[in-house]
Structure 1
Amino acid sequence: MPLSNQTEPNIPIVDFKHWDERHGRQQIAQSLVDGCRDVGFVNIINHGISEAEIQEAFDWTKRLFDLTHEEKMRAPHPPGPDVHRGYSYPGLEKVSQVYGVDADREHVGKALREVKDCKESYEIGSEDNSFMPNVWLPEDVLPGFRDFGLSFYWKCNTVAQKILTALATGLQLDSADTLTQVHSGDYNQLRLLHYPPIKAEELEKQTSARMPAHSDWGSITLLFQDDCGGLQVEDPREKGRFIDATPIKNGLIMNVGDMLMRWSNAVDYLKSTLHRVTLPPLSDRFEGKDRLTRERYSIPYFLTPDMNTVVQCMEACKRLTGAPKYEPVKAGEYLQMRAKLQYEA
């Protein structure tokens, strides 16, 4: 799936090519933190996963979603919001920015689900995560898929650990290992996503959605995109206005999640920015009289702290931003709160 070489100018590009050379680390780390402060989203190139490995991941993703519904349902997403693994068919999941007290109101969840999310996904985690055990397809349905999923999961974790080290360096934390020490890798999530073709009119009139505006819950997210387009990021200069996050060939886009925002002391420092998936930006991406969108594939990797980690403002960030904006919270408790309306109980 070839990607465009163009990128939205408002989203910075950070090159990790010289990360392993000691003299280059500080500049890379500072550029990364600056981008996370300004936008909350950063394009990363020379991240450590090869073009061939990215292409293989998209090939497996397409093969997975080309299976029949009956075959994909051999690994169904468990009922309710507590375990996020296996296959979710279009309309099963509902993404939103509603949580806390509002999530306890029955009419809120019902109203959200009146607009269907038109996407399907498959979630993969660590085999050592007893909190969310994996749900695998039988081997004869898609031979080799389990081995691929676990291999790519840990490749992404290696990249994510490097980015965490860069963030700690750029934030001038007490140790470059401050963040990696509470991210074992066992609580991350690899998500394979497919957005089937849909009439552009349904998205324009908001009778259907692809991925509504939301922030990510964890520490950071890494995202690989195909060339279809449609990911948009809220403009940090104008609330409610969204800018296109155009894919970069062989690059990934990294964004700050809620937990890293809390660690760095809320919106005064690193931003957990709203983002969404909607219509692709170019009119020639539509097909036929019904203006069908092209199908879209993407692969996000969500990095999450170990479940018992207490997320609270770090001392180094207090010195920069003042008193903490949020009460301390355990990572597992925060995830459960945010997930409450994601899947119907």
Structure 2
Amino acid sequence: MFDRVPLIDVGALVDGVSGRAARRSVAERIGAACRESGFFYVVGHGVGAGLQAHLETLSRRFFALPVDEKMAIRMARGGAAWRGYFPVGGELTSGRPDRKEGLYFGSELGPEHPLVRAGTPLHGPNLFPEEPPGLREAVLDYMAALTRLGHSLMEGIALSLELEDDYFATRYTADPLVLFRVFNYPPGPGTAEDGRPAWGVGEHTDYGVLTLLKQDSAGGLQVKSRDGGSVRWVDAPPIDGSFVCNIGDMLDRMTRGVYRSTPHRVLNRSGRDRLSLPFFFDPGWSTEVRPIDAPALAQASAPEDSTERWDGRNVHSLQGTYGDYLLGKVGKVFPELRTQVL
């Protein structure tokens, strides 16, 4: 059981000049965090503060618009690409509506791209609003910066497993599936009509290999810490200049459960809107995710049951591609949309 989320300076992975010893030192800290909690803060990441602040300002301006203006880019208009706006209650976690509204983005792909021509879900052009101006450019610049950071962090994870630093890039993330969300959690009652907490987003794990989250000062993120039958929820409060990083189900599967895809949740108690920008750096759509034959995992064996997972599923029994897994997940998050586009 852990009682805090560690903070790691990853500058040696991103600066392009640090030697192997410095990179390995950072990698060891990342590996320890992945084993213990599956979560860690990153600083020294090289993503410009100005870019982050600009995107946050534009995002707040968008969410302040009247609902009918936001609905002009509703997700139903995005088709199979699964892009655009959804209102509060439009997304489900574990079958319950979340108390958040949001924008879905991904890699900007034109009609000539082979996956777009094939009608592959979650691939295609983004839907950008007319207001506020500049949001399109800010989103695309931010996604490019976070994609670079994602590659650097995966190099560190590879080193932590005693693999070559390009292990993931050559097998899983040469063409990563990049998904980006901008969420607004409005203030509201602490309990729902059924008396249970009105979660901004309920308990869940992320699907891919790596998530990088920028959160504002409102807080509300909690991470599940478990030791046998004992459970506690650990706060992951905002830290200036940092991203919260966590690993997803596919890295859990690759490492046979040694690196943990840890459940987390959000409850906005701040009394004001909470802005959250999660960026998902995932395996390529058609990649088959398999356990890694790594020295650091030589004695590991995958868990055989799923009784401790939030959704009762066992990711270690996964068959098929990452796209198959992801589509099954997002289809439950937006069941109505799934029937329209698939």
Give the letter for the 1:265 counterpart. Answer: R
Pairing of 1:191-270 with structure 2 (within 5 A): 191-202=181-192, 205-206=195-196, 208-237=198-227, 239-266=230-257, 269-270=258-259
In structure 1, C-alpha distance between the alignment counterparts of 2:291 and 2:79, rounded to whole Å? 28
Match for 1:90 among 88, 91, 94? 88
3-state secondary structure, aligned to 2:40: strand
Pairing of 1:129-148 with structure 2 (within 5 A): 130=116, 131=120, 132=122, 133-138=124-129, 140-148=130-138
Q: Is the 8 A contact 2:4 2:235 kept in 1?
A: no
1:12 is displaced (CA, Å) by 0.8
Match for 1:64 among 54, 62, 70? 62
Give the letter for the 1:312 counterpart. Answer: R
2:300 maps to which residue? Answer: 321
Structure 1 runs, 4 residues or longer, greater than 4 Å off: 79-83
Higher relative CO (CA 8 A, sep ≥ 6), structure 1 or 2?
1
- Cα 1:240–1:77 change in 2 (3 A) is farther
When the two structures are aligned, how many residues end up with a matched partner?
Answer: 306
Give the letter for the 2:298 counterpart. Answer: R
Give the letter for the 2:99 counterpart. Answer: C
In structure 2, C-alpha distance between the alignment counterparts of 1:196 and 1:122, rounded to whole Å? 14
1:39 is displaced (CA, Å) by 0.4
Q: Is the 8 A contact 2:3 2:234 kept in 1?
A: no
Say whether residues 1:16 and 2:27 are aligned partners: no
2:30 maps to which residue? Answer: 32
3-state secondary structure, aligned to 1:340: helix
Q: Percent identity between the aligned chains? A: 28
Q: Is the 8 A contact 1:79 1:343 kept in 2?
A: no
2:276 maps to which residue? Answer: 298
In structure 1, C-alpha distance between the alignment counterparts of 2:104 and 2:177, rounded to whole Å? 12
Coordinate RMSD, CA, aligned: 2.4
Q: Is the 8 A contact 1:233 1:273 kept in 2?
A: yes
1:169 maps to which residue? Answer: 159
Structure 1 gaps of 5+ residues are 1-7, 97-111, 286-292
Q: Is the 8 A contact 1:80 1:344 kept in 2?
A: no
In structure 1, C-alpha distance between the alignment counterparts of 2:6 and 2:44, rounded to whole Å? 14
- Cα 1:239–1:260 change in 2 (3 A) is farther
3-state secondary structure, aligned to 1:208: coil
Q: TM-score with structure 1 length normalisation? A: 0.82
1:342 maps to which residue? Answer: 333
Q: TM-score with structure 2 length normalisation? A: 0.83
Pairing of 1:45-124 with structure 2 (within 5 A): 45-78=43-76, 83-96=81-94, 112-113=95-96, 116-124=97-105
1:152 is displaced (CA, Å) by 0.8
3-state secondary structure, aligned to 2:298: helix
Give the letter for the 2:273 counterpart. Answer: E
Q: Is the 8 A contact 2:3 2:225 kept in 1?
A: no
Give the letter for the 1:230 counterpart. Answer: G
3-state secondary structure, aligned to 1:78: helix
1:190 maps to which residue? Answer: 180
Between 1:297-306 and 1:83-92, the stretch displaced more is: 83-92
1:79 is displaced (CA, Å) by 7.8
Q: Is the 8 A contact 2:208 2:280 kept in 1?
A: yes
1:27 is displaced (CA, Å) by 0.5
In structure 2, C-alpha distance between the alignment counterparts of 1:152 and 1:77, rounded to whole Å? 21
In structure 2, C-alpha distance between the alignment counterparts of 1:79 and 1:295, rounded to whole Å? 26
1:329 is displaced (CA, Å) by 3.3
Structure 2 gaps of 5+ residues are 110-114, 305-315, 337-342
Q: Is the 8 A contact 1:196 1:296 kept in 2?
A: yes
- Cα 1:319–1:329 change in 2 (3 A) is farther
